[in-house]
Copies of this chain bind each other. A is one copy, B any other.
Amino acid sequence: MGFSNSQESHPADLPAALTIADSIRHHNLPGAFTEPVAYAKEQSILSEGELATDIHIVVSGAVRLFKMMPDGRRQIIGFAFPGDMLGLSLDDRYLHSAEAISPVILRHMGRRQLAALLERDHGLRKALLAWTMTELQIAQDQMLLLGRKDATERLSSFLLTLLQRRNHSTEDRHLPLAMTRTDIADYLGLSMETVSRTISLLKGRRLIRPLADHSIELLNVPGLRDLAAGNAIAVQLDP
């Protein structure tokens, strides 16, 4: 879930960052997860406050994780893609809700079974700690974005973290957007109209090119990086 915008660095003596799915594959834990379960687009996977019976791993598709306020305001906390985990929580209730953005396939595992595995498998413990710390870092970057960045900076940051996430074969600047404008808005703390306007603005400045199939081509990654970091001066408003 979520994305980090920080520069990557070399892992030292603390556990390295792998996806949980990687880790479970790597540590060869057979039969830990159920068979794949399919969810339709827009289907609810779990809800904030519910009893946290299971954790889930995304096999395919995309998921949004979010919190709601009583009057309907929504904050998307992150997105989950294949390899990502959802539903982990310290207490026995889920911390946020999750819905399928596209058709999704998940595997899940009982909470007590995870706890038992963790008791046995040192590598898995390390992987879980690494995952949690990575998520924390992502969340803290997002706090800076939500608290202090303007709409253009938010959009640029979002696109770049998506690019990094999908760590494309180095020079593929083509981003498929699984989520709607409304989802992006609720992730970036904006209205969907502002997201739309800001995309048009970046398009006008030749930084991106929105394509017909809900995907975006990044035409000027360094320019986007300047914007995302808040060096707005460095980017020309050329004709």
Contacts and interface: CB of A to CB of B under 8 A. Distances in A.
Contact of A95 (B12, B73, B92, B137): B137
Contact of A140 (B8, B10, B67, B125): B67
Contacts of A92: 9-12
A14 B95 contact: no
Contacts of A67: 140-141, 143-144
B14 A148 contact: no
A151 to B, nearest CB: 13
Of listed A75, A91, A146, residue having the most chain B CB within 10 A:
A91
A91 B9 contact: yes
Contacts of A133: 88-90, 132
Contacts of A74: 148
A116 to B, nearest CB: 8
Tell me the interface secondary structure of chain A in the complex. mixed
Interface string A51-93: 0000000000000000101110111010000000000111111
Interface residues of A, number: 55
Interface string A93-120: 1011000000000000001100100000
B230 A91 contact: no
Contacts of A71: 230-231
A43 to B, nearest CB: 22
A229 interface: yes
A139 interface: yes
Contacts of A129: 125, 128-129, 132
B142 A17 contact: no
